[in-house]
Chains A and B, each alone.
Chain A
Amino acid sequence: QVQLVQSGAAVKKPGSSVKVSCKASGDTFSNYAINWVRQAPGQGLEWMGGIMPVFRTTNYAQKFQGRVTITADDSTSTAYMELRSLRSEDTAVYYCARDEITTGPRFFDYWGPGTLVTVSS
């Protein structure tokens, strides 16, 4: 069955970077985009950006432009999200979620379990 497996929790210092991975299995990696959504403690869902590995294209929310990079490795069906210049407000659970690349309606049908990133001095 489809699974998205994310890397483990991380504790980072302000100003540093974090790279979270998301390994997909159970379906054809190239048929899907991988998106990154974060959720700060007690807050709502915030879309950060996504990648379509088959086209090598990325899109980022304006809020994170210049501070986030999303990449993918087809050979391992793994997507990565790197966030730089971390600050305390970046403390959140980071989810990956897939959506099928189609001309029809798009939606996030499978999600990873989330990776808690804590930014603290």
Chain B
Amino acid sequence: DIQMTQSPSSLSASVGDRVTITCRASESISSYLNWYQQKPGKAPKLLIYAASSLQGGVPSRFSGSGSGTDFTLTISSLQPEDFATYYCQQSYNSQMYSFGQGTNLEIK
């Protein structure tokens, strides 16, 4: 199975900050990497697919990059509504999806 490891597990930041979350795969997954945002009590929401493609309706302050085993999610200027938990997911093996453990983004 492909293991996904995110860092950091938690992060404190302020409104307006630039934030980067990383995700590492245990083997190469090309660009088959997705990012989701989850707020308390809600279902996850797709932000980025295929490592760098922005899902429709998602603000342009979100961006993704990377390929192979190392990926990043960047929020260019944090807004109050961005404080949430973020998960990466590999879809290289679509018969056995896997998620990272999550990164909790908190207000400083």
Contacts and interface: CB of A to CB of B under 8 A. Distances in A.
Contacts of B96: 47, 59, 61
Nearest to B101: A44
A44 B1 contact: no
Interface of A: 33, 35, 37, 44-47, 50, 59, 61-62, 95, 97, 99, 104-109, 111-114
A15 B87 CA distance: 31
Q: Which bucket holds chain B's interface residue count?
A: 20 to 34
B69 interface: no
Given A45-B44, A112-B43, A107 B87 contact: no
A107 B46 contact: yes
Contact of B44 (A33, A106, A111): A111
B22 interface: no
Given A47-B98, A108-B34, A62 B1 contact: yes
A104 B91 CA distance: 10
Given A47-B98, A105-B53, A114-B43, 4 more contacts: A45-B89, A47-B96, A105-B91, A107-B89
